[in-house]
């Protein structure tokens, strides 16, 4: 029998997270949304959430890789990814941009968890659970290669003695790039090619430690939403990293080894990162949507507008129809997200579900926030309330980790059994 009740570990963390969302994040939302302070770090939140994470018994969680640590009790079902999904939803309910400043491996850590060797996971991920707050990030997008990862030009070449990789290239729109690259002892996971003639088989992921010579943050973007989170452009100029810092077996990452084995396992392993991170984006979208819906209903109640449940569709007002659709769509997006996280916890494939929840949540939160502003009229458009900010924050969830169009393509190919070359 399917049980939709929340497990105890999730219920236990909710009280702490609700307190942080409402008492720490909401009061500073406007401060870090201001373009004049958009690149200041929200240490009020970082210190509070770091203390809360330690209180809850974990720190810097990275999706996919924490079940071994959290589920040492064989009688307890694996819950790590579901716990993180609930955590992201609550923190995004507080403020989606500030949530992205949560200490941890983030996308870079998720990539290591998805494609790294056991030794690499232990070496690179352990740092996020103790000491001072640290951050990870992933650098994929380039000026000439947005969603088309096959056209990435950042190059990784072996040094003459074969003991180092040398990275050269430019990355843009790196979420948390400054935090991970120069403000902590974290790292940035960089996608690069070891040989452009090898196509996707030549694509590999490299771990670049913070403050490595040759890696430089060159720009911080000013954005429509999630302004508290830094979005960086990063230049790699003869950036040298250890030979073992390529994800997976480093001996299989050289051009010669790839030619001897034409498998695209390295690229596919890196792409598996998205199976973990897309549900996280969906959870963030649902959190924004839930904050919006809750505020809208409270606003309407103060105006004397009652939402009647159980009334036939033809007798409902236009506002009632919109509210009921918001509730239904947000619940559908949340259930898809939970399923994708549950599959990860069971160590089952979830590529289809990960893209499905990302598509649904990104589309829903965009519509819900825009419709809420529309219903509230000038009150919604005014900065007197946070609802216009939530509308601006919401849109990114339909863009990063693969746009809605990209993920629809993934869903279609997986359902119909087509290859990417057959269905675009």
CATH code for the domain in which residue 305 is found: 1.20.140.10
Do 256 and 390 fall into the same domain? no
Does some domain include residue 109? no
Do 160 and 84 fall into the same domain? no
Range of the structural domain that residue 84 is part of: 8-103
pLDDT at 414 over 50: yes
Does the annotation mark 401 as catalytic? yes
Catalytic residue among 68, 71, 401, 422: 401
Confidence of residue 63 (pLDDT cuts 50, 70, 90): very low
Do 161 and 140 fall into the same domain? yes
Do 19 and 72 fall into the same domain? yes
Question: Last residue of a domain, which of 224, 244, 263?
Answer: 263
Do 291 and 342 fall into the same domain? yes
Question: Last residue of a domain, which of 52, 86, 103?
Answer: 103
- Give the pLDDT confidence score for residue 77 in this predicted structure: 77
- Give the pLDDT confidence score for residue 1 in this predicted structure: 45
Does some domain include residue 178? yes
Question: Last residue of a domain, which of 52, 81, 103?
Answer: 103
CATH code for the domain in which residue 227 is found: 2.40.110.10
* pTM for the structure as a whole: 0.92
Does some domain include residue 208? yes
Does some domain include residue 2? no
CATH code for the domain in which residue 76 is found: 1.10.540
Higher pLDDT, 220 or 144: 220
Q: What's the chain look like in SS3? A: CCCCCCCHHHHHHHHHHHHHHHHHHHHHHHHHHCCCCCCCCCHHHHHHHHHHHHHCCCCCCCCCCCHHHHCCCCCCCCCHHHHHHHHHHHHHHHCHHHHCCCCECHHHHHHHHHHCCHHHHHHHHHHHHCCCCCEEEEECCECCECCCHHHCCCEEEECCCCCEEEEEEEEEEEECHHHHHCCCCCEEEEEEECCHHHHHHHEEEEEEECCCCCEEEEEECCCCCCCCCCEEEEEEEEEEEEHHHECCCHHHCCHHHHHHCCCCHHHHHHHCHHHHHHHHHHHHHHHHHHHHHHHHHHHHHHCCCCCCCCCCHHHCCHHHHHHHHHHHHHHHHHHHHHHHHHHHHCCCCCHHHHHHHHHHHHHHHHHHHHHHHHHHCHHHHCCCCCHHHHHHHHHHHHCCCCCHHHHHHHHHHHHHCCCCCCCC
Give per-residue pLDDT as tens, 68-95.
554 455 566 788 899 999 999 999 999 9
Does some domain include residue 406? yes
Do 23 and 85 fall into the same domain? yes
Give per-residue pLDDT as tens, 224-272.
999 999 999 999 999 999 999 999 989 888 888 888 876 555 566 667 7
Question: Total domain count for the chain?
Answer: 3
Do 280 and 407 fall into the same domain? yes
């Amino acid at each position: 029998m399917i049980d939709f009740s929340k497990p105890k570990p999730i219920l236990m963390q909710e009280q702490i997270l609700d307190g942080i969302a409402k008492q720490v994040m909401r009061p500073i939302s406007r401060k870090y949304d201001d373009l004049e302070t958009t690149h200041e770090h929200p240490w009020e939140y970082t210190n509070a959430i770091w203390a809360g994470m330690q209180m809850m018994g974990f720190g810097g969680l990275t999706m996919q890789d924490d079940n071994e640590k959290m589920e040492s009790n064989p009688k307890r079902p694996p819950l790590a990814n579901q716990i993180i999904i609930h955590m992201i939803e609550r923190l995004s309910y507080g403020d989606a941009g500030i949530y992205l400043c949560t200490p941890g491996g983030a996308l870079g850590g998720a990539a290591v968890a998805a494609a790294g060797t056991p030794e690499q996971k232990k070496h690179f991920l352990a740092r996020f659970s103790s000491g001072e707050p640290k951050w990870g990030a992933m650098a994929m997008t380039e000026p000439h290669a947005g969603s088309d990862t096959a056209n990435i030009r950042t190059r990784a070449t072996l040094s003459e003695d074969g003991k180092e990789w040398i990275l050269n290239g430019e990355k843009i729109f790196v979420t948390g790039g400054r935090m991970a690259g120069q403000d902590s002892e974290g790292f940035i996971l960089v996608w690069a090619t070891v040989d452009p003639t090898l196509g996707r088989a030549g694509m590999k992921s490299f771990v670049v430690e913070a403050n490595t010579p040759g890696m430089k943050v060159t720009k911080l973007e000013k954005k429509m939403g999630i302004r508290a989170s830094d979005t960086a452009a990063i230049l790699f100029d003869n950036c040298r990293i250890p030979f073992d810092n390529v994800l997976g077996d480093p001996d299989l990452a050289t051009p010669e080894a790839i030619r001897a084995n034409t498998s695209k396992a390295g690229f596919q392993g890196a792409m598996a990162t998205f199976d973990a991170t897309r549900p996280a984006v969906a959870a963030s979208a649902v959190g924004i949507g839930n904050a919006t819906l809750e505020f809208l209903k409270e606003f309407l109640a103060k105006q004397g507008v009652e939402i009647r449940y159980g009334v036939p569709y033809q007798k409902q007002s236009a506002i009632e129809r919109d509210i009921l659709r918001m509730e239904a769509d947000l619940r559908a997006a949340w259930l898809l997200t939970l399923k994708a996280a549950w599959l990860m916890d069971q160590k089952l494939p979830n590529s289809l579900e990960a893209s499905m929840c990302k598509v649904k949540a990104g589309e829903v939160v965009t519509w819900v926030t825009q419709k809420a502003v529309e219903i509230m009229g000038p009150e919604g458009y005014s900065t007197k309330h946070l609802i216009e900010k939530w509308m601006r924050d919401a849109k990114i969830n339909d863009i990063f980790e693969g746009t809605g169009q990209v993920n629809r393509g993934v869903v279609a190919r997986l359902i119909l059994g087509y290859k990417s070359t057959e269905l675009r």
